[in-house]
Amino acid sequence: MSRVHSPIPGKRSPGALKLRGRAPRFGGLSFGVAGWISLTAALVFVACAVAPGLIAPYDPLAVDPAGAFAPPSLAHPFGTDDSGRDVFSRVIYGARDSLTIGVVATLVGLILGLGIGVLAGGSRSRAAGPVRYVADRLIEALFSFPGLLLALLVIAVRGPGVFSIVLAVSLATAPGFARMIRGSIRQQLGAGPVDAARVQGDSPARVWFTLVLPETMRSVLVLATLGIGHAVILAAALGFLGLGSPPPTPEWGAMLNAGRPYLTKAWWMTVFPGLAIVMVGITATVLGRAFQRKERYA
């Protein structure tokens, strides 16, 4: 009889060693087909925001009453609005305000969340206990308000405008960053590498800047990519309510509101700005998941 050799305890088979750490492949690309498509779409949106004049065929503010409510055609791929303005050009130019608000608001929210999260996650020493307690209660207080309600509260105090929307969206997204950063820091402080570094005599500053914060920021950057899509959608919602850029500035949320009365007569006034908002949300989500998957299997 042939003998069956059992695997040696504590050792992995060669096949397991080869599979471990390998990123899932789609079409031969380790980043994933969906990730590459979303990255391409993101670059297109960035190009629209950076250089809209090179892409848009018309002036987004040029009025042509005689050509109002023209349906989509070769001359106007997205049709025209109630003032005869080219909807395609307005959607292209709208990327500048919408993406700028989303990116800046996410960056500010990330900075706020990082500060609160570091205080809440902080040192495990007894002296830092009151600081952690206050930071924890602050995160819970911010989470008690829905994001849109908190944003509306900020705008009610400051008044409508682009700066108010950036501040409102930043405060609405900061609690999510703070909670994630707090959890990641506490997890890293209890991990084996940190304990080993302390045993070796590394200073607390060295432990923080070489072990804790780098591992935390890797997760934060993935979350920030996802947060940009959420920030753009929230900013568009505020623009739809008339709290963003004043008309006739091309902004996706304001364009949705402007096309709402003509939804049955000129559906393109609402559908195409809405598709742009949806596409940004999908692109940010898929791209963030692709980065997360790549980071997980790296």
CATH code for the domain of 144: 1.10.3720.10
Q: What pLDDT, on the 0 to 100 scale, is given for residue 296?
A: 58
Q: How confident is the model at residue 266 (pLDDT cuts 50, 70, 90)?
A: very high
Residue with more model confidence, 288 or 11: 288
Q: What pLDDT, on the 0 to 100 scale, is given for residue 151?
A: 84
Residue 41 lies in a domain: no
Give the residue from 94, 251, 250, 114 showing the smallest Cα distance to 170.
Answer: 114
Q: How confident is the model at residue 26 (pLDDT cuts 50, 70, 90)?
A: very low
Q: How confident is the model at residue 20 (pLDDT cuts 50, 70, 90)?
A: very low
Residue 67 lies in a domain: yes
Region 70-75 average pLDDT: 94
Total of domains in the chain: 1
Q: Are 42 and 103 in contact (CB under 8 A)?
A: no
Residue 33 lies in a domain: no
pLDDT at 18 over 80: no
Q: How confident is the model at residue 119 (pLDDT cuts 50, 70, 90)?
A: confident
Region 127-135 average pLDDT: 74
Residue 230 lies in a domain: yes
Could you tell me the residue range of the domain that residue 229 belongs to? Answer: 47-296
pTM: 0.78
Find the distance separating the first CA and the last CA of the chain, reported in whole Å: 43
Region 288-293 average pLDDT: 76
Report the percent of the chain where pLDDT is more than 90: 30
Q: What pLDDT, on the 0 to 100 scale, is given for residue 71?
A: 95
Residue 256 lies in a domain: yes
Quote the CA–CA distance of 290 and 36 in Å, as a whole number: 9
Residue 24 lies in a domain: no
Q: Please give the backbone phi and psi of residue 80, each rounded to the nearest 5 degrees, phi first.
A: -125, 160
Residue 6 lies in a domain: no
Quote the CA–CA distance of 226 and 219 in Å, as a whole number: 11
Give the residue from 42, 36, 32 showing the smallest Cα distance to 281.
Answer: 42
Residue 178 lies in a domain: yes
For the chain, what is the mean pLDDT?
A: 81
Kindly report, residue by residue over 183-233, the tens digit of the pLDDT. 888 777 777 777 777 777 777 777 777 777 777 777 787 788 888 888 899
34 CB neighbour count, 10 Å cutoff: 17
Q: Which residues pair with 192 in a beta bridge?
A: none
Tokens 């008044």 identify what position?
159
pLDDT at 10 over 50: no
Residue with more model confidence, 155 or 24: 155
